[in-house]
Amino acid sequence: MKFRRGDIVLAVTVLAGAAALFLPLGGAGLWPRADMLLWIAALIVAALPALDYLARPIAAFLALLGAVMAGAALYGLIGAGARGVHAYGLWLGVIVLVVLSWRAMALSAALAAANKSNLLHLAAPILLGVWTIFMWQVLTVGFDIPRVLLPPPSDIAASMVASSRDLALDFVQTFIRAMIPGYLIGCGAGFIVGVLVDRVPFLQRGLLPLGNLVSALPIVAVAPIMVMWFGFDWQSKAAVVVIMTFFPMLVSTIAGLAALSRMELDLMRTYAATYGQTLWKARLQAAMPFIFNALKINSTLALIGAIVAEFFGTPVVGMGFRISTEVGRMNISMVWATIVVAAVAGSAAYGALALMERTVTFWHPSLRKVA
Amino acid sequence: MNSLAQRLRDGHALPVLAIVAVLIAVWYLGAIWLNSQRIIDLYEADEDMKGKWTTSDLIRDTLSMNRPVLPAPDQVVMELDRSVLEVAPTSNRSLLYHAWVTLSAALVGFGLGALLGIALAVAIVHVKTLERALMPWVIASQTIPILAIAPMIIVVLGSIGFVGLMPKAFISAYLCFFPVTIGMVKGLTSPEPLQLDLIRTYSANEGQIFRKLRWPASFAFLFPSLKIAVALAVVGAIVGELPTGAAAGLGARLLAGSYYGQTVQIWSALVLASLVAGLSVAAVGWAERITMRRMGGRA
């Protein structure tokens, strides 16, 4: 029988896992019976994939199940009061869990590589995400890390539930009232100016380098000026967003309208197409990948602009306001809750744009499926 | 001479200059227009001036207000001259000093972030599981308004005794490292199968493939990402100075200016921040040209 490196690692891990059962647990005394049984079962389940005659999907599933069971056992241990640096049994268990989840991730990633199913491709990243949150919870609680430094995810979730009304109002103020109008005006203006400028080569040559330069500048810093001009409410935040989103859109529109080659333009001319027809039927279509790129970049920029502008003064509502005041009150779990909302909103906006891009620029090589 | 005239006509310099000139003119007009209301109110309140002021009075006064709504470009230049050239660069009244506080944090953060980004990219390229599990998160993290966590990082690190440069550098590093990772992963995987096959026929091992093929090939992707990253690093350092009233730095100047309504101070800080960012990007571009020339590229 030939030993593979992975099997040796697994064997060592299982032995270490067994040893963890006999090590001290800080405050908790010995392993509670239920957790002990769950832990042993987890080790056995996780060790099964080493047997060669299991099919790969089953092996991946067993590795995953073992990791989840081990995680549940450790979570029970934390609940039973295992704390502190001296809880050697707990920390050895955590190290064992790291190896087990890595193995589960590797097996599911290998399975995804051999398979075309979209669901499987999501398995490894989701596993990593869940694993990170779990580790965050176990480490912050297990090491008794002060809440003001890094609250455990359970605290953040509790804050989200408890202050869901505030969070919703902040979301409406920052996302719906400040960011979306600013985003629409900024992107719209950038697009229109881009199309107009495209007719005048002189302006085009002048604006492209300037636009590129402006894209590198810290535009967020105009926020205090906008707050002075447009007041504390959402108008000033929308103005910041307009300025931030205008230039990326302008540059992308100009670049996108220049994307068609001589050949296609000549073809349009042989059809006796007017300027408007060429613009609408050929050039704007070709510009769409560029424009969507700018729309996606801008969606992140816009949210940043709307939030940072609130650091310079707001009515008593808004994500940026919430972050800066709750930081001042050292209520860090509420800050994290707001960040979670911002992250989800930002990702959702980006995802929606990506979906739209798929339908509009279905012809683009990067989106065509290889037959 | 003909070729010079032609270059002027076809090149970028003339149009750029023309547009900049128009922008400055618009700025002056805007300053007159935005400031006029307050000046007119002043005139109307004054017994001597009431009804007797002329347009030239108005223009002169709107362009030289103490706390204008929009300062004229020459006021900003004067303020820059006063706070950059006439004060010793070590004094905290010197804008140069504040710019250095911000730039040093941005550069330290840029260094850290770039190193971290490159290391992560190397790991992602060489460990298949990481690529599958981590890469989607790196991409998703681009869609998150990371800058929003800046105040928290500053305060939390401050509460455990980290103050001054390092917390700001952490924010810059955090902003930097995503574009670098994404660019580097693209760069390290940019060698074509043909090239990889060739180097494998030389029986190169993974380390040699990395040193002799992947690493040099990645440079064309690394530098554009570094340009994005260094601009982000400056933004990160500025935003890092906003919360908790940092004493020094361009961000602190912006905040102080907005508290006290010192618009000229805000604008000069803004101009200097743009200069700092522009020069940093230019420096990276310069490093790119030198490196590419050394490596025998055409750039």
pLDDT tens-digit profile of A282-295?
Answer: 999 989 989 998 99
Which of B132, B142, B266, B271 would best serve as a mutation to test chain A binding (most A beta carbons within 10 A)? B132
What was the pLDDT predicted at B245?
57
What was the pLDDT predicted at A28?
60
User: What does the alpha-carbon distance between residue A14 and residue A63 come to, in Å, rounded to a whole number?
Assistant: 13
- Report whether A241 contacts A182 (CB < 8 A): yes
Token pair for A152? 């455990």
DSSP class of B92: T
Which of A327, A340, A341 would best serve as a mutation to test chain B binding (most B beta carbons within 10 A)? A327
Give whole-number Cα distances, B298 to A41, B183, B283, in Å. Answer: 62, 20, 19
In our burial notation (b when 16+ CB lie closer than 10 A, e otherwise), range B191-200 reads beeeeeeebe
User: What does the alpha-carbon distance between residue B262 and residue B267 come to, in Å, rounded to a whole number?
Assistant: 9
| Residue B248, amino acid | A
B161 in contact with A, Cβ within 8 Å: no
Residue B299 clears pLDDT 50, i.e. is over it: no
User: What does the alpha-carbon distance between residue A80 and residue A73 come to, in Å, rounded to a whole number?
Assistant: 11
User: What does the alpha-carbon distance between residue B128 and residue B108 come to, in Å, rounded to a whole number?
Assistant: 31
- Measure B138 CA to nearest chain A CA, in Å: 10
pLDDT tens-digit profile of B32-46?
Answer: 888 887 788 878 777
Residues on chain A touching B147 (C-beta within 8 angstroms): 220, 304, 307-308
Measure the CA angle with vertex B68, ends B19 and A216; round to 5°: 40
What was the pLDDT predicted at B71?
85
Q: What is the DSSP string of A31-70?
A: PPHHHHHHHHHHHHHHHGGGSTTS-HHHHHHHHHHHHHHH
pTM reported for the whole predicted model: 0.82
pLDDT tens-digit profile of B181-213?
Answer: 988 988 898 888 898 899 999 998 888 998 888
Residue B86's SS3 state is coil
What was the pLDDT predicted at B266?
85
> Could you say which of B14, B128, B242 has the minimum Cβ distance to residue A311?
B242
Token pair for A23? 């090590």
- Measure A126 CA to nearest chain B CA, in Å: 8
Q: pLDDT of chain A along its 371 residues, tens only?
A: 456 777 788 888 888 888 888 877 776 677 788 888 888 888 888 888 777 677 778 888 888 888 888 888 888 888 777 777 777 888 888 888 888 888 888 888 888 777 766 677 777 888 888 888 988 988 888 888 888 888 999 999 999 999 999 999 999 998 999 999 999 999 999 999 999 988 888 888 888 888 878 877 888 888 888 888 888 888 899 999 999 999 889 989 988 998 888 999 999 999 999 999 999 989 999 899 899 989 988 998 898 889 888 888 778 888 888 888 888 888 889 989 998 999 889 889 988 998 898 888 888 777 666 54
- Measure A277 CA to nearest chain B CA, in Å: 28
User: What does the alpha-carbon distance between residue B76 and residue B73 come to, in Å, rounded to a whole number?
Assistant: 5
- Report whether A310 contacts A321 (CB < 8 A): yes
Average pLDDT of the residues of chain B: 83
User: What does the alpha-carbon distance between residue A275 and residue A270 come to, in Å, rounded to a whole number?
Assistant: 13
Q: How confident is the model at residue B175 (pLDDT cuts 50, 70, 90)?
A: confident
DSSP class of A362: T
B13 in contact with A, Cβ within 8 Å: no
Which of B24, B149, B232, B238 would best serve as a mutation to test chain A binding (most A beta carbons within 10 A)? B149
- Measure B260 CA to nearest chain A CA, in Å: 11
> Could you say which of B11, B18, B133 has the minimum Cβ distance to residue A109?
B133
- Report whether A331 contacts B156 (CB < 8 A): no
Residue B243 clears pLDDT 70, i.e. is over it: no
What was the pLDDT predicted at B232?
87
User: What does the alpha-carbon distance between residue B220 and residue A98 come to, in Å, rounded to a whole number?
Assistant: 36
What was the pLDDT predicted at A181?
94
Contact assignment for B143 to A300 by CB distance below 8 Å: yes
What are φ and ψ of residue A301, in 5° steps?
-55, -40
List the one residue out of B95, B232, B133, B111 whose CA is nearest residue A124: B133
- Report whether A252 contacts A291 (CB < 8 A): yes
pLDDT tens-digit profile of B66-97?
Answer: 778 888 888 888 888 887 777 777 777 788 88
- Report whether B250 contacts B242 (CB < 8 A): no
User: What does the alpha-carbon distance between residue B36 and residue B30 come to, in Å, rounded to a whole number?
Assistant: 10
Within 21-50 of B, beta carbons closer than 8 Å to A belong to: 34
Kindly provide the ipTM of the predicted complex, given to two decimals: 0.80
User: What does the alpha-carbon distance between residue A301 and residue B156 come to, in Å, rounded to a whole number?
Assistant: 25
pLDDT tens-digit profile of B262-296?
Answer: 888 888 888 888 888 889 989 999 998 998 888 87
What was the pLDDT predicted at A370?
52
- Report whether A138 contacts A74 (CB < 8 A): yes
- Report whether B182 contacts B139 (CB < 8 A): yes
Non-local (6+) Cβ contacts of A15 within 8 A are none
Residues on chain A touching B19 (C-beta within 8 angstroms): 203, 206-207, 210
Look at B47 and B110; give whichever has higher pLDDT: B110
User: What does the alpha-carbon distance between residue A317 and residue A326 come to, in Å, rounded to a whole number?
Assistant: 12
Residues on chain A touching B261 (C-beta within 8 angstroms): 228
